[in-house]
Amino acid sequence: MKPDLPMRHSNPAGSDGRPSRTTGIASPPRQPGSVHGYLRGLFHLGLTRFVLIGGLSAALSISLLYVAVDLLGIPYLLAFAAIFIGINTVAYLASRRMVFASTRVGLHSGLLRYFGVSGVSLAMNSLALVLLVEYAGLRPVPASILLSLANAPLSYLLHGRVTFLLRHQSVGREHRGEQ
């Protein structure tokens, strides 16, 4: 016989007070518009998908950067910028379909917004890359890995709010698969 376990406030299936399908543990209903509810919404399915898309994009970017810089001898900033643009186009399409599907932003205007956010990110990352490579003495690939890890949470929030124009309440619903 299993001992009674205390109620925990974790419900991967949703925050509606019903028991989770995976754990059987109920959580209190989420308060619409609350910071707590918003933060809980970030750790649901949408964030998992965003992390997977971002992780695959980062791994491919880093692999391509290695090939371009270390094997082909292409200047690291040129390679970094070209790879950034190519990978981010694919990441936008994947994020739009799999993470932020409820957006009402059109495909082309969303792509422009995405590259607006990504362009600012590229400028900041390029500066940070130069600092890490030229002054901190890191190789381009490890420096790029550090930048990818540091930028993931900010990227997620910015793209949800700016690219796909989702308010924080909508972002929470999006992650639970609600419309």
Q: Is the pLDDT of residue 11 over 80?
A: no
Q: What φ, ψ does residue 31 adopt, rounded to 5°?
A: -85, 120
Chain centroid offset of residue 53 CA: 7
Residues 10 and 95: their CA atoms lie apart, in Å, by: 26
Pull the structure tokens for residue 86.
């190519």
The model's pTM is: 0.59
CA distances from 51 to 27, 40, 61, 99 (A): 24, 16, 15, 10
What pLDDT was estimated at residue 63?
A: 94
Instruction: Using the structure block, give the residue that is written with the tokens 């990227």.
Output: 155
Residue 70's φ and ψ, nearest 5 degrees, are: -80, -30
CA–CA distances in Å: residue 15 to residues 10, 29, 62, 144: 8, 5, 37, 36
Domain residue limits, the chain = 40-175
Of 41-50, 91-100, 146-155, the range with the lowest mean pLDDT is: 41-50
Residues 30-46 as b/e (b if ≥16 CB within 10 A, e otherwise) read beeeeeebbebbbebbb
pLDDT (tens digit per residue) in 19-74: 445 444 444 455 555 665 655 555 467 777 888 898 899 899 989 999 999 999 99
pLDDT higher than 90, residue 80: no
